[in-house]
């Protein structure tokens, strides 16, 4: 994989996207076939997350791919990331519902945390950085749109068309926000945390109507685009020269 990265970073990103989509679809199907939701998906998520982090660390690319903390002194500048907290909590707005047995609840929760890390590293890290080398605006658009469209894979797992359509819509907006956040902070960690928690809390969400999902989707889009517009006005930061904050231990 390192050779592919050195020769063609874009091809490297696309290979990882394909690996992620195909393997997780298979893992979800296998988990359902044995009757334990996300049992294989959780193991796969852990394995891929470990491999991604290990590869990034081995090649000393933590700063390049944003696996470094935002300086505490900058929290006020970013409104203490309050909009991200609101976004991360969206699946709890309608109350908490325990839908699965304890083991499955834990497996789904852990899987979703891993998915948040994996998708941010692949889409915001690998893909965005690869395209950024050529055209910045195009990189933002492609990273956001492909992140949203990538959720269409949920159709293969039995999701309703209207649910998937709404999810694609707000995922594009959130993907755009996370990309701007990465550009401005130099760190993927706020996006990884928000994405992972947002996904993980979905295990506690209850049934909702089309109207409720539509309202929530619109609110998410407005918060994401509004916060992104605010962030765009701020000067760009980088953690590349601040090695003490990098996840290199």
Q: What domain count does the chain have?
A: 1
Over range 34-41, report the average pLDDT.
Answer: 96
44: Cβ contacts below 8 Å, ≥ 6 apart: 23, 24, 27
Tokens 């390049």 -> residue: 64
The answer to whether residue 173 is domain-embedded is: yes
Over range 110-121, report the average pLDDT.
Answer: 97
Q: Could you tell me which of 89, 181, 115 has the C-alpha nearest to residue 144? A: 181
The answer to whether residue 49 is domain-embedded is: yes
Reduced to 3 states (helix: H, G, I; strand: E, B; else coil), residue 212 is helix
Over range 140-169, report the average pLDDT.
Answer: 74
- Residue 216 structural domain: 2-63+79-241
The answer to whether residue 73 is domain-embedded is: no
Over range 67-80, report the average pLDDT.
Answer: 92
| Residue pair 97/124 in contact by the 8 Å Cβ criterion | no
Global pTM reads: 0.89
213 vs 84, residue with greater confidence: 84
Over range 108-129, report the average pLDDT.
Answer: 96
The answer to whether residue 200 is domain-embedded is: yes
Lowest mean pLDDT among 2-11, 150-159, 233-242: 150-159
Give Cα separations from 197 to 12, 101, 114, 124, 191 (angstroms).
Answer: 27, 20, 10, 17, 10
Checking if the pLDDT of 156 tops 80, the result is no
């Amino acid at each position: 994989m390192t050779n592919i990265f050195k020769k063609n970073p874009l091809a490297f990103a696309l290979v990882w996207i394909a690996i992620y989509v195909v393997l997780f679809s298979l893992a979800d199907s296998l988990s359902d076939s044995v009757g334990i939701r996300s049992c294989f998906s959780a193991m796969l998520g852990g394995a891929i997350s470990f491999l991604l982090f290990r590869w990034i660390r081995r090649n000393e690319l933590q700063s390049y791919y944003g696996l470094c903390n935002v300086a505490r002194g900058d929290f006020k500048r970013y409104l203490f990331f309050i909009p991200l907290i609101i976004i991360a909590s969206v699946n709890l707005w309608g109350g908490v519902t325990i839908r699965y047995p304890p083991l499955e609840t834990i497996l789904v929760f852990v899987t979703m945390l891993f998915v948040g890390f994996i998708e941010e590293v692949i889409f915001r890290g690998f893909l965005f950085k690869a395209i950024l080398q050529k055209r910045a605006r195009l990189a933002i658009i492609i990273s956001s749109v492909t992140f949203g469209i990538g959720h269409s894979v949920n159709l293969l797992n039995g999701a309703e068309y209207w649910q998937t359509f709404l999810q694609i819509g707000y995922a594009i907006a959130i993907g755009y926000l996370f990309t701007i956040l990465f550009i401005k902070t130099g760190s993927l960690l706020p996006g990884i945390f928000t994405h992972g928690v947002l996904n993980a809390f979905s295990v506690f969400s209850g049934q909702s109507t089309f109207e409720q999902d539509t309202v929530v989707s619109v609110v998410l889009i407005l918060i994401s685009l509004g916060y992104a517009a605010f962030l765009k006005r701020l000067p760009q930061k980088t953690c590349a020269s601040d090695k003490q904050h990098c996840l290199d231990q």
